[in-house]
Amino acid sequence: MPATRIWLKNPLAIFTANGLDARGGLVLQDGVIAEVLALGQVPAQPCAEVFDAREHVVLPGLINTHHHFYQTLTRAWAPVVNQPLFPWLKTLYPVWARLTPEKLALATKVALAELLLSGCTTAADHHYLFPDGLEQAIDVQVQSVRELGMRAMLTRGSMSLGEADGGLPPQQTVQQGQVILDDSQRLIREYHQRGDGAQIQIALAPCSPFSVTPQIMQASAELADSLDVRLHTHLAETLDEEDFCLQRFGLRTVDYLDSVGWLGPRTWLAHGIHFNPDEIARLGAAGTGICHCPSSNMRLASGICPTLDLLAAGAPIGLGVDGSASNDASNMILEARQALYIQRLRYGAEKITPEGVLGWATRGSAQLLGRTDIGELAVGKQADLALFKLDELRFSGSHDPISALLLCGADRADRVMIGGTWRVIDGQVEGLDLKGLIADHTQAARQLIAGT
């Protein structure tokens, strides 16, 4: 009897993201789900360990499909609190250009720890800042992910269109195309893992139409195709972006995406707000995924993603917290709550359900990242789990446990498991000096703003 065989027994409630009856719990063995037990069922074989989950609501580990970890250093900064996207970016770019490897490591650990405590087990980060001295940014992030024991899709972002050439970013933040492509190949070669259970994956992610050239977009698409990795960028986030594309390229955003070879199932896009019906149909037909970022979209007053229209057309939908300077939190269970509420404003209460939104945060997000081994609870899937208790005052008087997570505002998981290993126990990250991390990160944030 292997010591790794665990029965997660009789949960208070369980959401599988696929309709399976798992009210009897889950049997976990060697880091994967070995059995899904219906109500009243018991394991087919004895288990070395039994975890009584009667006080826990069990979810698949939540999956964050768009973030900028480094931005945890510039949260709630007064000069940008009331700015929309373009002015917000232009004010922050010079500050971000002072980022160092040490500050990036702290920012990444803070973002990951916050995500982990919210029930997130896999996170995609979009890092596109490589000023002098920060050429190894993704390598720094790999180390932080490994320290926290999470899974990550680290995207090698880029900016190649600076202010001098009509772009938005300052010149000290842009790189030459060949430098970007060479580093992209290096990172894929060194870090990208394939197959079930992968911890670190790499994707290619030119930042946005207003910060990279069409040439680097096209070359990135070709490289991604040849090396079989995914593509990611921001698109259709604001009307300013749409105007930029029309003025510079003579094309709307989806036409531009198509012109550089990005319209396909390898691609997932952050935000996806300002699409017309024809563009939604084209995205759906291509199988291009959209990461809905509700908090950021509200914070910057960008608009509301047309999720149900995109889904009906065939485009997968996932969730992301976006950068921690436009949210300003890194909390996936709260992000699902925001998605529930803002999407009801667009589509009505009957069509947007807690289960549907949790599906975006799990199975839908996994689909955006091209993964079939995470995002749902079924035999053979990774043992990535988020367990929440409903014993706080905010939940008192609630009746449906799954709905209560979102409607009553759950914000912290009690336990989180990744690949069969507990990474959060009793609301604390295993092996992490959280107070020390906060102190170091706070000092780094003050130094970054001050330029010291």
pLDDT tens-digit profile of 44-62?
999 999 999 999 999 999 9
Q: What are phi and psi of 123, to 5 degrees?
A: -135, 135
Please determine, for residue 441, whether its predicted confidence score (pLDDT) is greater than 50: yes
Total domain count, the chain: 2
Nearest to 12 by CA among 403, 285, 313: 403
In a domain? residue 153: yes
Is 25 found in the same domain as 124?
no
State residue 452's pLDDT score.
85
161, 225: one domain: yes
| CA–CA gap between residue 23 and residue 40 (Å, rounded) | 8
- Is 443 inside a domain boundary? no
pLDDT of res. 1: 35
Residues 221 and 105 in one domain: yes
The answer to whether residue 342 scores a pLDDT higher than 70 is yes
Residue 173's pLDDT band, with cuts at 50, 70 and 90, is confident
In this predicted structure, the answer to whether residue 3 has a pLDDT above a threshold of 60 is: no
| Structure confidence at residue 2 (pLDDT) | 40
Q: Give the mean pLDDT of the chain.
A: 97
Give domain status of residue 448, yes or no: no
Does residue 447 lie within any of the structural domains?
A: no
Under the banding of pLDDT at 50, 70 and 90, the label for residue 168 is confident
Q: Same domain, yes or no, for 170 and 220? A: yes
Q: What is the DSSP letter of 387?
A: E
DSSP string spanning 81-115?
TT--HHHHHHHHHHHHTT--HHHHHHHHHHHHHHH
Q: Taking 70 as the threshold, does the pLDDT of residue 299 lie above it?
A: yes
Calculate mean pLDDT across residues 257-263: 98
pLDDT on residue 13: 98
Q: Which helix (H) or strand (E) holds 120?
A: strand 120-127
Are 332 and 410 contained in the same domain? no
* 149 and 274 housed in the same domain: yes
Q: On the CB side of 212, how many CA atoms lie within 13 Å of its CA?
A: 30
| pLDDT at residue 142, as a whole number | 98
Instruction: Provide mean pLDDT across the span 235-263.
Output: 96
Non-local (6+) Cβ contacts of 30 within 8 A are: 2, 4, 420
Question: 360-417 pLDDT, tens per residue?
Answer: 999 999 999 999 999 999 999 999 999 999 999 999 999 999 999 999 999 999 999 9
pLDDT tens string 90-147: 999 999 999 999 999 999 999 999 999 999 999 999 999 999 999 999 999 999 999 9
In a domain, residue 374? The reply is no
Residues 220-244 have a mean pLDDT of: 97
| Residues spanned by the domain of 225 | 62-369
Question: For a pLDDT cut of 70, what percent of the chain falls above it?
Answer: 99
CATH of the domain at 98: 3.20.20.140
Task: Please indicate, yes or no, if residue 435 is contained in any of the structural domains.
Answer: no
Whole-number pLDDT of residue 171: 87
Same domain membership, residue 226 and residue 188? yes
Q: Is residue 375 part of a domain?
A: no
Residues 247 and 131 in one domain: yes
